[in-house]
């Protein structure tokens, strides 16, 4: 596949295609489909998030940690690994290898941060 420039349009295509895969995934699909009632709204929020992360657009105005803590019971190592595997496949298919790499690296760091935050909250709850 030819490499493409990272634009908001490319990010929108990526997010749409990725979450279509997530929704159909045997492992992640039930989790995401139970948690999200309004997919168009959620996809728009994720497009803004990735635009802010990759293009420093400032479009995203949210708190990802808070959102993920609401679903802490599903924040397992296996689920993170599955999400990252799908992300790697779809980013490469949509963007090409060179453009996909920074998305994959950012996603890995974000996943690590979310895992650490969820683990910290679990430890706090266990100590209380």
Q: Is residue 79 part of a domain?
A: yes
Angle of helix 8-24 relative to helix 77-95, nearest 10 degrees?
A: 130
Least-confidence region, from 13-22, 53-62, 94-103, 113-122: 113-122
CATH of the domain at 91: 1.10.490.10
Give 1's pLDDT tier (boundaries 50, 70, 90).
Answer: low
Q: Which residues contact 21 (CB under 8 A, 6 or more apart)?
A: 86, 89, 90
Predicted confidence (pLDDT) per residue in 37-71, tens digit = 999 999 999 999 999 999 999 999 988 888 887 87
How many domains in the chain?
1
Q: Is residue 46 part of a domain?
A: yes
Q: What is the pTM of this model?
A: 0.90
Q: Is residue 99 part of a domain?
A: yes
- Asked if residue 31 lies in contact with residue 124, where contact means CB atoms within 8 angstroms, the answer is no
- Residues spanned by the domain of 17: 8-54+63-127
pLDDT of residue 122: 77
Closest C-alpha to 98, from 21, 3, 18, 17: 3
Q: Please give the Cα distance from 123 to 16 (Å, whole number).
A: 35
Question: How high does pLDDT run on average in the chain?
Answer: 93
């Amino acid at each position: 596949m030819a490499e493409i420039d990272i634009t908001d349009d490319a990010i929108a295509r990526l997010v749409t295609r990725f979450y279509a895969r997530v929704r159909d995934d045997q492992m992640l699909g039930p989790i995401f489909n139970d948690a999200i009632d309004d997919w168009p709204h959620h996809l728009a929020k994720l497009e803004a998030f990735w635009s802010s992360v990759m293009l420093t657009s400032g479009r995203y105005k949210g708190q990802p940690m808070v959102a993920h803590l609401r679903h802490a019971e599903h924040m397992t190592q296996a689920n993170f690994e599955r999400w990252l595997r799908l992300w790697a496949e779809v980013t490469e298919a949509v963007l090409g290898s060179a453009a996909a790499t920074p998305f994959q690296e950012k996603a890995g760091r974000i996943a690590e941060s979310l895992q650490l935050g969820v683990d910290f909250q679990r430890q706090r709850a266990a100590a209380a």
